[in-house]
Amino acid sequence: MTILANGRFEMLHEGLPKTGTVRYESDRAFLEIKSILGEAVKEMGEPVVRHNRALELRPVDLNSIELRDPAGFYPEPVVLRRKTQPSG
Per-residue pLDDT tens digits for 9-68: 999 988 899 999 999 999 999 999 999 999 999 999 998 888 889 999 999 999 999 999
Q: How close are the terminal C-alpha atoms of the chain, in Å? A: 20
Asked whether the CA dihedral 56, 13, 8, 47 is positive or negative, the reply is negative
* Residue 56 counted as domain residue: yes
> What pLDDT was estimated at residue 86?
67
Residue 57 lies in a domain: yes
**Cα–Cα distance, 39 to 64 (Å, whole number):** 30
Report yes or no on 86 lying in a domain: no
In a domain, 64, yes or no: yes
Domain range spanning residue 10?
2-81
| pTM to 2 decimal places | 0.84
d(C-alpha 23, C-alpha 35), whole Å: 16
**17 within domain boundaries:** yes
Structural domains in the chain (count): 1
